[in-house]
Structure 1
Amino acid sequence: MAHSAELIIYDLDGVITDTAEFHFLAWKQLAEELDITFDRRFNERLKGISRMDSLELILALGGSKTALSMEKKLELAARKNGYYLELIEEISPGHILPGIKTLLDDNKQAGVKIALGSASKNAPHILDMLELSDYFDYIVDAAQVQKGKPDPETFTNAADALGVAYENCIGVEDAAAGVDAINSAGMFSVAVGDQSHLGHAHYRVDDTKDLMFENMIQCFQDWRKI
């Protein structure tokens, strides 16, 4: 195939599995301990922001809780992370998002290299629990990435490690910052989700079940011809 892709780099959360539910349950448990009412609608405000910033928003929601010392806030953030780590122990292959196992099978069968482009330190452990580790030729080491998305480093790190030119790579993301990172790297961007947030991707589908390997490769080849 002319201009065939040599590497596909997948984001983890929202593409392969969805750990957002575990983050929600962990924050909810902490909020209840603080007598703060926390629901899914408020949880949407926490997506994509840091643990400490999320904690500040929850404390502000509680009103009288904002006068806590930094030491206490750090303790609360650590407690939340502990709940999250307990919850992700329940992850199993049943938590793989629809269509992704077939996509990875097709990807591997085609002989195209596979990498994980997640800066999460929990990523290797989560892949093990999903029983998907054997599919991946490389997992981005969070300790080696200095700048998170939208900086392209997560994706260029994977390509560099596997010796693949950036223009021969496809990145798959579900977040606008992730698509920005892929585009900045000069790679072909594939997005899963809403057009209003992800319209700047080269190729987009609404849901993981709509991600087809052959369609991705065809769109990549069309892009390379431009």
Structure 2
Amino acid sequence: MAQFSDIKGFVFDLDGVITDTSIFHSQAWHQVADKVGVAWDDTLADALKGISRMDSLNLILARNHKENEFTPAEKTALATEKNDNYLTLVNQMTPDNILPGINDFLADLKANGYLLSLASASKNSPRVLDHLGLADYFTKSVDPASLKHGKPDPEIFRRGAEILNLDPAQCIGVEDAAAGVQSINGAGETSIGIGDPKVLAAADINFTDTTQLTLANIQQAMTSASLA
């Protein structure tokens, strides 16, 4: 893990870190699962966190060995239907949907001169940020359409550092999914996992929720780790 004094930038996931759009994703995917006759449960919902749209659809279909029952065009139509369902929900979002503590944390990062970028697999992240009123914080955002590999591959977080003109070792990545933490670690950044520390055991730093996400807590965690 890097020294706290080496950190110059933060690379954020969106879903489950800045806002809880994962609820909307789950609702929209649940509708698709019902349509194709795949039973929905919490295990399947968790497996889709941080995964791209087509990869998510293929995971759903694979649950009942249906991945070969649909043509590429039919799969694209299902993914588009999911996205339409999701956008209907997203369009109702307001700044009240920002997770607790995130507004203060982003303001603190900006006040202290840290650079920020977004590393979300969601192609709808600009729309979400607009509805939340946070677009000005994330003028640098990885375009998921430009990526060759999805999480847990490190490409997206590596790119998140590149667009800030920073070395990955100068960045902290913030995630709520195991695949995302793996991506951060693979990119060579310090990883913060938000959520169940058992699920996110690979993270360098664990916080159970976003209210604990402060510069003071991060500095303390990194200092303690360096002294251990």
> Which residue in the other structure is 1:148 paired with?
150
Gaps of 5+ in 2: none
CA contact (8 A) 1:93 1:131 kept: yes
SS of 2:10's partner is strand
Shift of residue 72 of structure 1?
Answer: 4.6
In structure 1, C-alpha distance between the alignment counterparts of 2:101 and 2:202, rounded to whole Å: 23
Q: Residue 93 of structure 1 aligns with which residue?
A: 95
Rounded to whole Å, the distance in 1 between the matches of 2:43 and 2:192 is: 28
Structure 2 distance, partners of 1:57, 1:87, is 26
Alignment of 1:87-166 (within 5 A): 87-166=89-168
Residue type at the aligned position of 1:93? P
Question: Post-superposition shift, 1:29?
Answer: 3.9
**Which residue does the alignment assign to 2:82?**
80
Taking the aligned partners of 2:178 and 2:4, their CA distance within structure 1 comes to 29
Residue 76 to residue 161, structure 1, CA distance change in 2 (3 Å): closer
| Local SS of the residue matching 1:115 | strand
Normalised to the residue count of structure 1, the TM-score between the two structures is 0.83
- Superposition TM-score, scaled by structure 2 size: 0.82
Give the aligned residue type for 2:61.
Answer: E
Cα deviation for residue 37 of structure 1 reads 8.9
The alpha carbon displacement at 1:76 in A equals: 3.5
Q: Equivalent residue for 1:196?
A: 198
- Where does residue 53 of structure 1 map in the other structure? 58
Q: Is the 1:119–1:145 contact (alpha carbons within 8 Å) kept by the matching residues of 2?
A: no
- Does structure 1 residue 170 correspond to structure 2 residue 172? yes
Is the alpha carbon distance of 1:29 and 1:205 closer, same or farther for their aligned partners in structure 2, counting shifts above 3 Å? same
User: Aligned in 2, Cα 1:148/1:51: closer, same or farther, shift over 3 Å?
Assistant: closer
Larger radius of gyration: 1
1:186 to 1:67, Cα distance in 2 relative to 1, 3 A: closer
**Deviation (angstroms), 1:104:** 0.5
Greater displacement, 184-193 / 1-10: 1-10
Q: CA RMSD in A?
A: 2.9
1:181 CA drift (Å): 1.4
User: What is the CA–CA distance in structure 1 between the aligned matches of 2:85 and 2:94, rounded to whole Å?
Assistant: 17
- For the residues of structure 2 that align with 1:10 and 1:135, how far apart are their CA atoms? 11
Q: Which of residues 196, 213, 217 in structure 1 aligns to 2:219? A: 217
Deviation sequence 1:5-45 (CA, Å, 0-9, x none)? 100111101100111211222234445667x6966546536
Letter in 1 for 2:48: K
Q: Quick check: 185-194 or 213-222, which moved more?
A: 213-222
More deviation, 99-108/43-52: 43-52
1:75 is displaced (CA, Å) by 3.2
Q: 1:215 to 1:57 in 2, by over 3 A?
A: same
- CA distance change for structure 1 residues 147 and 116 in 2, over 3 Å: closer, same or farther? same
Listed one character per residue, the Cα deviations across residues 127-152 of structure 1 (whole Å, up to 9, x for unaligned) are 11111011124111112222121221
What number of residue pairs does the alignment pair up? 221
Q: Relative to structure 2, which stretch is displaced further, 65-74 or 78-87? A: 65-74
- Once the two structures are superposed, residues 47-66 of structure 1 have per-residue CA deviations (whole angstroms, 9 ceiling, x without a partner) of 245242254268x49xxx99
**Within 2, Cα distance between the matches of 1:222 and 1:137?**
33
